[in-house]
Amino acid sequence: DVVMTQTPPSLSVAIGQSVSISCKSSQSLVYSDGKTYLHWLLQSSGRSPKRLIYQVSNLDSGVPDRFSGTGSQKDFTLKISRVEAKDLGVYYCAQTTHFPWTFGGGTKLELK
C-alpha cells in the first residue's frame, strides 16, 4: 500500500497567519494517464470530510483562493494564506492513484 506521511501532526496558528502542511507518499502518485491523483480534505469538528483540492492543485467549487496546493511525484504541500477561524480542523491528504486508496494521518490546525 502507498503510505502517506503528513507533517506536522498539529499546527497552532493565529488568525491571519499563513501555514503549510506537507504530505509525502511512499511511491510516485503519477498515474499512467499522466495525472497525479493527490487530494486535500478538511474535516471540521463534528463534520464529515470535505474535499478542498483535487489532483494536486485544483480548487473545488467554493473553496477560497487562500488555499493552494503544489507538488509532484511524491512530495506535496497545502498552503493556507491568511488563516480564518473557519479553516480550523483536521486536514488530510489522500491518494487515488494506486489501489488501495490511502490517506495521510491528518494535520490538526488549531488556534494559537
Partner 1 sequence: EVQLVESGGGLVKPGASLKLSCVASGFTFSDYWMSWVRQTPGKTMEWIGDIKYDGSYTNYAPSLKNRFTISRDNAKSTLYLQMSNVRSEDTATYYCTLLGAGYWGQGVMVTVSS
Residues at the contact surface with partner 1, assessed by CB under 8 A: 39, 48-51, 54, 60, 90, 92, 94, 96, 99-103, 105-106
Phi and psi torsions of 86, nearest 5°:
-75, -5
Residue 16 or residue 32: which is nearer to partner 1 going by CB? 32
* Closest approach of partner 1 to the CB of residue 48, in Å: 5
* Closest approach of partner 1 to the CB of residue 11, in Å: 16
Residue 39 or residue 74: which is nearer to partner 1 going by CB? 39
* Closest approach of partner 1 to the CB of residue 106, in Å: 6
* Closest approach of partner 1 to the CB of residue 68, in Å: 17
Residue 14 or residue 49: which is nearer to partner 1 going by CB? 49
48 touches 74 (CB < 8 A)? no
Residue 86 or residue 99: which is nearer to partner 1 going by CB? 99
Q: What is the per-residue DSSP string for the chain?
A: ---EEEE-SEEEE-TT--EEEEEEESS--B-TTS-B-EEEEEE-TTS--EEEEETTTEEPTT--TTEEEEEETTEEEEEESS--GGG-EEEEEEE-SSSSPEE---EEEEE-
